Structure 1
Amino acid sequence: MLWIPIDRSLDIPLIRQVYQLIRERILNGNLQSGEKLPSTRALSTELKVSRNVILEAYDQLLAEGFVVSRMGSGTFVAEGTFLEQQKKIPSFHSLNWGEDKNKENDMISFRSGIPALDLFPRKTWAKLSYTIWNDIASSTFGYDIPEGRPELRQVLSRYLLKTRGVDCHPEQIVITSGATQALTLVSKLLLSPDDLVIMEDPITNDIQTIFKTTDSILYPIPVDEYGMKTSLLPVNKNPKLVFITPSHQFPLGGTLPIQRRIQLINYSRKTNCYLVEDDYDSEFRYEGPPVSSLQGLDPEHVLYIGSFSKILSPALRMGYLILPSHLIEKCRKLKWFSDLHTPSLDQLILARFIGEGYLERHITKMKKIYKDRRNFLIHCLEITFSNKVNIFGYSTGLHLIVELSEFHFSKELLEWIEQFGVKVYPVEDHTIEKEKYTNRIILGFGHLKKEEIKKGVIRLHKAIDNFKLKN
């Protein structure tokens, strides 16, 4: 008789249990081709289950081809049903998920680029969502156009002209699933193997990775406290694009002055290349007036990328790409091949959120909160480290740079710091040419409350002090 361990305490129906256990034995060869299965009546008696349970399990096996039924003879294992078993991967339950581990250890992470998620305007978003879901036409639930809803593109073009000096028609905007998709579209749109890409160094490692996927060649230009050193742009090269973060250089935080912006535009015109402007963190500027976009100076040579991940939430996966007019149609096709379109209903909610002034009010509110957290982080660093730290890049954005001149943030030191319940991120991770910023770390503060900031800085100081004693 076929022994099958039925477990009535499980949520899995008995029919499914019988089917799965017989299927597994057929696949691993314990039940071989041509072998006869017990009759449904005999097996139901043996397992003390209804005969209908066995009948339905056998029917499922028959439908999938695991068994064959012979009139008057019974049910037999079909030919060609053995599958050699490979080593099983670990159970998902046994995997260590970093997020859960950090929660258990009360880890304080100074990761950059994360907004205050607990301050997302939920009530306003929910109210607008309710209105949109109840008022929209049934046709809106169907497939949409790849470049994005016209309602969002129209309101976005007006908003960006007002706040960032971006000069564009709604038709030049392609709505994307965050800045990452926008960058991926740019790489597919402009680059081929062995094309030259000029970029700031350091620059976020994710962007380097995206451009490398096209087998392009990265040409790094160093940055200083004002951003890319445009005087070092190569005169004897023919780049396809120059990638820059002019409003808030990542990670060092400089703002590109007008003289260097003009140098970049003249360079792009002379070499017939494009400038790709990532308007990173520009909304949260704490020192001086807002800085206008580079795109507004030359819309036909600049591709402009923006995102709502830092302003609102990364979970929205909403960004945009603004293109010179002659690249629009090709980009629309690439977007269609990528994902057909960005979720339509979320676009309509965001359009209403911007159009009714909620976004500007939210940014104004958050600027005050982030500035307060930034000032508190600077105060904690200066008090805790007795003014032995140098702090850079604090005029804009959700992170700052800390330099401890006597330290090299090696893998060993970073792992040592993490054992004290705090995680920091080295600038060196984002460099193309290595060994230039080994004594600098990135400290993100947007998502941390004051008590977490204070605790994190104290832990960091304790870890470094103990590391000095250890060595």
Structure 2
Amino acid sequence: MLWIPIDRSSAIPLNRQVYQQIREKILSGELQAGVRLASTRELSTELNVSRNVILEAYDQLLAEGFLVAQRGSGTFVAEGASLTRTDPSHEIQKVNHKYAENGIINFRSGIPALDLFPRKIWAKLSHQLWNDSESTNLGYDLPEGRLELRQTLAYYLKRTRGVHCHPEQIIITSGATQAMTLVSRLLLSPNDIAIMEDPITNDIQTIFTSSGATIYPIPVDEDGMKTALLPKNIVPKFIFLTPSHQFPLGGTLPIQRRIQLVQYARNQHCYLIEDDYDSEFRFEGLPISSLQGLDPEHVLYIGSFSKILSPALRIGYIVLPTHLIEKCRQLKWFTDLHTPSLEQLILARFINEGYLERHIGKMKKFYKRQRDFLIQCLHTAFSTNIKILGYSTGMHLVAEFKDIHFSQEILLKIEQFGVKVYPVENHAITKGNYHNRIIIGYGHLKQEEIEKGVERLLQALNSIVR
């Protein structure tokens, strides 16, 4: 007889519980091909459930091919329905990892304060849109995105970031990640060369190298990419950089270097890819004007609303030179047809009615308080043993420590003390220059978590030194 525990307090219906457990036993090989199952009457009596519960479970398993019924003989496990797991501990590892995060203060960068997302306003606009929207808005849409949002963005970006474009130059994407993937497919082929800041986000490196291209790294300093080191003897497809807030070191590219980049792109007949990372949250002065505004025909400008509002929205965009528009539209169509339409319309209203700029103003004040509190905690804990870098913009800073080498062993030791930090070295293309620097994100943490996290980091490093 099958041993199938029944949980009558569960929200999962009884027939679904029976179905799932028999299915799992067949997949794992515990019930092998040819084994005869108990009759529906026998199993319902054994489990003390209605016979209809068992009938429905068996019918589903028969429909999916896990069971076969032979008239007059019974119900049997079908051939070829088991699946050998490549890693039997996989599910256990996933569960353990989930619970391992509990209690750990995670200084991960790039996560906004999600509890401050303007839910009521967004819900109000969403409700209005669903009530007012024509049925045509529920159908397939244009790959480049809704005209309403592209018109809104063209005006907003010109006014706030100095971006010169018309709505036709904008392609709406599912976040900045899809925008970069489209750029890779648009411009790169195997053996092409792409110049990139070093260090730069590891994920972005992976996106561009997956095309078969080679990365040529240019180191950064406190002012961003060292443009004097741009090579004259190669012709790259593009130069990728984060000029308004270099990730992860935090520099802002001065106008002299921006002009050098534009002149280089013109001379080498290549493009500049401007990732406008975190530019809205600049704590000293106004946001720096975009690189795109200097030369719209040589710059592809990428932005998203993941940091400003929420990663869950999955809305980003590319501003393209005019001669790349049609090819990029086709690539977007082949990728996913279009980005969800109704979210675009809600966002367009959110911007047009002034809510976005009010939200950014509110969040700048909040993140500045968070940043100042974190810097105070770090100075109190580590005094002269620490140097703080890249704190003028965004939701993270970089801490440089004297005589600390953040190896994998030390990072695991720190995590044992209940705090997680991220080494700059993980994002370096040329390894070996940033072993004593870590990235500390603060946007998503409460001040008591920041204080406790710094205390735990101090305890961990003290134990390592001892």
* Match of residue 137 from structure 1: 134
How large is the RMSD of aligned CA atoms in angstroms?
2.9
Provide the secondary structure at the position in 2 that maps to 1:235. Answer: coil
Please report how far the alpha carbon of residue 418 of structure 1 lies from its aligned counterpart in structure 2 after TM superposition: 1.5
Aligned to 1:243: 240
What are the residue-to-residue correspondences of 1:271-350 with 2, within 5 Å? 271-350=268-347
Could you tell me how far apart the structure 1 residues matched to 2:229 and 2:304 are? Answer: 29
The offset of 1:31, in angstroms, is 7.2
| 1:248–1:281 contact (8 Å) kept in structure 2 | yes
Q: How far has the Cα of 1:132 moved from its partner?
A: 1.1
Per-residue CA distance 1:292-312 (angstroms, 9 max, x = gap): 000011111100000111111
Contact 1:27 1:83 in 2 (8 A): no
Q: Deviations over 1:231-275 (max 9, x none)?
A: 110000010010011111111111111111111111111111110
Unaligned runs of 5+ in 2: none
Between the aligned partners of 1:44 and 1:369, the Cα distance in structure 2 is 60
Q: How does 1:166-315 map to 2 (within 5 A)?
A: 166-315=163-312
2:245–2:394: 8 Å Cα contact kept in structure 1?
Answer: yes
Shift of 1:379: 1.8
What amino acid sits opposite 2:310 in the alignment?
A: S
Question: Is this contact kept in 1: 2:32–2:82, CA < 8 A?
Answer: no
The equivalent of 1:361 in structure 2 is 358
Q: 1:443 Cα deviation (Å)?
A: 1.2
Does the CA contact (< 8 Å) of 1:132 and 1:349 recur in 2? yes
For 2:141, the aligned partner's letter is D
Alignment partners' CA distance in 2, 1:144 and 1:267: 38
Equivalences, count: 461
Q: Counterpart of 2:95 in 1: which secondary structure?
A: coil
Per-residue deviation, residues 128-149 of structure 1 (Å, max 9, x unmatched):
1111111111121122111111
Give the secondary-structure state (helix, strand or coil) at the position aligned to 2:286: coil
Give the match for residue 94 of structure 2.
95
**Structure 1, unaligned stretches of length 5 or more?**
none
Alignment TM-score, normalising by the size of structure 1: 0.89
Contact 1:39/1:74 (8 A) holds in 2: no
2:276–2:301 Cα contact (<8 Å) kept:
yes
Superposition map of 1:81-92 within 5 A: 81-83=79-81, 86-87=84-85, 89-90=88-89, 92=91
CA distance in 1, matches of 2:157, 2:280: 11
Stretch deviating more after TM superposition (80-89 or 298-307): 80-89
What's the offset of the Cα at 1:96?
A: 3.4
Cα distance in 2 between the residues matched to 1:467 and 1:339: 49
The range that moved more, 41-50 or 84-93, is 41-50
For 1:26 and 1:159, locate their aligned partners in 2 and report how far apart those are by CA, in whole Å: 54
Does the CA contact (< 8 Å) of 1:26 and 1:32 recur in 2?
no
What is the CA-CA distance between 1:353 and the residue it aligns to?
0.6
Q: What is the CA distance between 1:69 and its match in structure 2? A: 4.6
8 Å Cα contact 2:192-2:214 kept in structure 1: yes
When residues 116 and 249 of structure 1 are mapped into structure 2, their CA distance, relative to the original with a 3 A threshold, is same
Which amino acid in 1 is paired with 2:101? N
1:74-103 deviation line (CA, Å, top 9, x unaligned): 55759x725565247347466335454222
Q: 1:1-44 deviations in whole A, cap 9, x for unaligned? A: xx3446554555459837974996699596765x8888777887
- Does structure 1 retain, via aligned residues, the 8 Å contact 2:6–2:47? no
Equivalent position of 1:434 in the other structure: 431
> Displacement, 1:173?
0.7
Distance in 2, matches of 1:239 and 1:186, equals 14
Q: Partners of 1:40 and 1:82 in 2: how far apart?
A: 23
Query: Normalising to structure 2: TM-score of the pair?
Result: 0.90
Looking at CA atoms only, which structure, 1 or 2, has the larger radius of gyration? Answer: 1
Residues 40 and 340 from structure 1, CA distance in 2 versus in 1: closer, same or farther, beyond 3 angstroms? same
How far the C-alpha of 1:67 sits from its partner, in A, is 3.0
For 2:89 and 2:266, how far apart are their aligned partners in 1?
55
Corresponding residue for 1:17?
18
Correspondence for 2:396: 399
Which structure 2 residues correspond to residues 1-16 of structure 1 after superposition, within 5 A? 3-5=1-3, 9-10=7-8, 11-14=12-15
- CA drift of 1:218 comes to 0.5
Q: For 1:249, give the aligned amino acid.
A: Q
Q: Does the 8 A contact of 1:248 with 1:254 survive in 2?
A: yes
Contact 1:198 1:221 in 2 (8 A): yes
- Does 2:126 correspond to 1:125? no
Query: CA 1:9–1:422 in 2, change beyond 3 Å: closer, same or farther?
Result: closer
- Compare 247-256 and 49-58 and name the one that shifted more: 49-58
Aligned partner of 2:68 in structure 1 is: 67
SS in 1 for 2:127: helix
CA–CA distance in structure 2, aligned partners of residues 253 and 18 of structure 1: 54
Cα distance change of structure 1 residues 83 and 326 upon mapping to structure 2, 3 Å threshold = same
The counterpart of 1:385, out of the listed 354, 364, 382, is: 382
- Structure 2 counterpart of 1:17, one-letter code: V
Indicate how the Cα distance of structure 1 residues 12 and 232 shifts in structure 2: closer, same or farther if over 3 A, else same: same
Amino acid at match of 2:79: T
Structure 1 residue 397 displacement after superposition: 1.1
Cα distance in 2 for residues equivalent to 1:448 and 1:58: 49
1:412 equivalent to 2:409? Answer: yes
Q: CA deviation at 1:288?
A: 3.0
Determine the structure 1 residue equivalent to 2:151. 154
Given that residues 62 and 69 in structure 1 are in contact (C-alpha distance below 8 angstroms), is that contact kept between their aligned partners in structure 2? Answer: no
